[in-house]
Structure 1
Amino acid sequence: MMDIRYHIATLIAIFLALGVGILVGSTVVGSDVLNDQQKKMIDQLEKQFEVLRQKEEDLTTRVEFMNGLLRHYEDFTEALLPSIVENRLAGMKVALVVSGGLDIPSGALNSLSLAGARIVSTTVILPGINLSSDSLRSKLAAAYGVGDKTSPEELRIQVGKTIGDIILNHDVQEIKRLLEQNDLVKFNGDYSILPDAVIVMGGASSLDYYFPETIDVPIINNVSGAGVRVLGVEVSDVKYSYMQVYQAQKITTVDDIDLIPGQVSLVLAMAGESGDYGVKPTAKKFMPSLPPGYAGGNR
């Protein structure tokens, strides 16, 4: 579309230049031969302009058709979703961790609910985790028993390990209160319940919130080291992806949980179909295969 518009703009500029040329030529030369040549050039340019205009019109029609087709596809997959995921995770206790400053898509939460999963806790990493405040870094250093000159990166690693401990119901209440009171982490839910699986949602819209190695990885390693399954997810259009970092930890990943295929992939992956799913170059497969007779849920 942009190439055609560029060519159209170029042709318009040529028309204007020819108009000036005709005016100057007729004033200076007044030659019928010159006028005939210029008229032929204008006729040729008009034909080219018409061809390009028709191509743009055809492309616009095609785009409108494809957008309509996409809407029908979305309606179809939304209607099909319940029959695929219903009760696939019945009774599974799930802890959510949200990193990177983005919200979990409501569709993903709805899919987990349809699948019968029970969200026991939601942990949200807040923007203050960039640890730009000297006084805050001093508080954390004192709480963790490390020196005042400990780097923000090392302090974030300690915070990540603490979040893992909290999810695993270890007794770190004092540090937990410190993290909450200083707006570093928000804790919601019942952390006395040990989850069957932990979903870590990453992906950042700004480098100000991009800390996968120093927050997400310590959480993943702590929780998975205790034998609890961890899955790493993000939305399809995130600016700064965490997928490569997550996959380096050998956990199952889904990079498009804002889309219904990604939500299906998440449920099936949690039910046992491990892999790296989604639409990005880091994905190994679009989504898990559906075995024959899979639709209909565990009835």
Structure 2
Amino acid sequence: MHINMKYYIVSIGAIFIALGIGMLVGFNLNYDQELSKQQANIISDLDNKFEDLKTTNDNLEKSLSTLTADYDKAVELINKNKDKIIADTLSEKNIGIISTNENNDYSTEISDIITKANGSVAFNIVLNNNVENKEKLQEVSTKLNLELKSSKDLVKYISECLASQEGLSKLQELQSLEVIKVNSISDEFSNCESVILAGGNESKVDDKKFKEVDGILIASLKEQNKSLVGVQQTNAKFSYVDMYSKNKVANIDNVDEGIGQVSLVILLNDKGITGNFGRLETASTLFPEKK
């Protein structure tokens, strides 16, 4: 029988194509099996790593819980024994106190801290809210024969009165005009080396108001080479610590707590320490380390 060469070549080609397809299918099946094995190995590896991470996380949580408990115990211990800790730490220190908000005056509590630490309160005054009032400014200017063009001038004048023994009568005049309230003032009021600024507010204080009162006060006291510490209580609705920090004033956000009071005496004793201390997120550490 005569074989058609063309048919023969096509048949041979078909056989090779079939073989090729078979080899390809077999390879793919084998590859899929290898891929499945690799995937299974990866999943198993991930499971193992997840378990390791979970174990590590559980251990960290236990450690954190232990550290938190230790931290709370340490804070509680300091709070309970703060009077013993601060006793005599401010001996021979003459310290002034200025509150910049008559509606949030806790300067008497600050004075008590200084006294318990055997320090002297040079002065304890409150700047009344009307230091920014234009009519009050005009009244003060007229009665004291001064040229006060703005609240900035008045605040600077108050700080200058605090720096001079001759300023006592002027401070008394300012109190009679209800611009300031003098809670206490000693014979050596002008010789204080440090001033505590009692801040924190019940209502929001904008940057402009802070600059025109607290900011001017800070700048003027720094010119007199006074060491400054800004403080506030934990329940302050509007915090001053950011604004103190911007003006490079060391600050404490929990001065009503024992640990905050320990922080205060440390800062008053070591004028080189700067930073934000206390419980707020803005605090760098809980309390300053004495150098």
Which category of TM-score, normalised to the shorter sequence, fits these structures? 0.5 to 0.7
Residue matched to 2:201: 204
Structure-2 separation of matches of 1:96 and 1:192: 14
Matches of 1:206 and 1:112, distance apart in 2: 28
**Mapping of 1:73-152 within 5 angstroms?**
76-101=77-102, 102-104=104-106, 108-131=110-133, 134=135, 136-142=136-142, 143-145=145-147, 150=149
Q: Which amino acid aligns with 2:246?
A: A
Question: Does the C-alpha gap of structure 1 residues 105 and 229 become closer, same or farther in structure 2, counting only changes over 3 Å?
Answer: closer
Q: Which runs of 5+ in 2 are unaligned?
A: 1-71
Q: What is the alpha-carbon distance in structure 1 between the residues aligned to residue 204 and residue 177 of structure 2?
A: 21
Q: Which residue of structure 2 lines up, in the alignment, with residue 283 of structure 1?
A: 283
1:176 alignment counterpart? 171
Say how many residue pairs are matched: 214
Deviation string, structure 1 residues 186-231 (Cα, Å, up to 9, x no partner):
1231365310111011111124899422122212111111111111
For 1:25-36, what aligned pairs fall within 5 Å after superposition? none
With structure 1 as the length reference, what TM-score do the two structures score?
A: 0.62
Partner of 1:161: 156
Which structure 1 residue ranges, 5 or more long, are not aligned?
1-70, 292-299
Q: Check the 8 A contact 2:121/2:186 in 1, yes or no.
A: no
- Paired residue for 2:186? 190
Kindly provide the CA deviation profile for residues 9-31 of structure 1, in whole angstroms up to 9, marking residues without a partner as x: xxxxxxxxxxxxxxxxxxxxxxx
Question: Residue 21 of structure 2 corresponds to which residue in structure 1?
Answer: none
* C-alpha displacement of 1:256: 1.0
Q: Which stretch shows the higher mean deviation, 282-291 or 160-169?
A: 282-291
Query: Which runs of structure 1 show a deviation greater than 6 angstroms over 4 or more consecutive aligned residues?
Result: 71-75
Any residues of structure 2 matched to 1:39-58 within 5 Å, and which? none
What is the alpha-carbon distance in structure 2 between the residues aligned to residue 195 and residue 176 of structure 1?
16
How is 1:207-218 mapped onto 2 (pairs within 5 angstroms)?
A: 207=204, 211-218=209-216
Q: Equivalent residue for 2:265?
A: 267
Q: Which amino acid aligns with 2:257?
A: L
1:238-285 deviation per Cα after TM superposition (whole angstroms, max 9, x unaligned): 112221221122121111111111111111111114332111232221
Change (3 A) 1:127 1:191: farther
Q: In the TM superposition, what is the alpha-carbon distance from 1:115 to its structure 2 partner?
A: 1.8
- The question of 1:230 aligning with 2:232 is answered no
CA contact (8 A) 2:79 2:257 kept: no
C-alpha change, 1:106 and 1:261, in structure 2 (3 Å) is farther
1:247 aligns with 2:249: no
Equivalent residue, structure 2, for 1:34: none
Instruction: Please give the alpha-carbon distance, in whole angstroms, between the structure 2 residues aligned to 1:173 and 1:112.
Output: 22
Q: Distance between the aligned counterparts of 2:224 and 2:137, measured in 1?
A: 28
Change in CA separation of 1:121 and 1:108 when aligned onto 2, cut-off 3 Å = closer
Distance 1:167 1:138, change over 3 A: closer
CA 1:170–1:118: 2 relative to 1, 3 Å: closer
Amino acid aligned to 2:186: D
SS of corresponding position for 1:235? coil
Change (3 A) 1:96 1:252: same
C-alpha spacing 1:215/1:170, structure 2 compared with 1 (3 Å): farther
Alpha carbons of structure 1 residues 140 and 208: separation in structure 2 relative to 1, 3 Å: farther
Q: 1:159 to 1:181 in 2, by over 3 A?
A: same
Bigger radius of gyration = 2
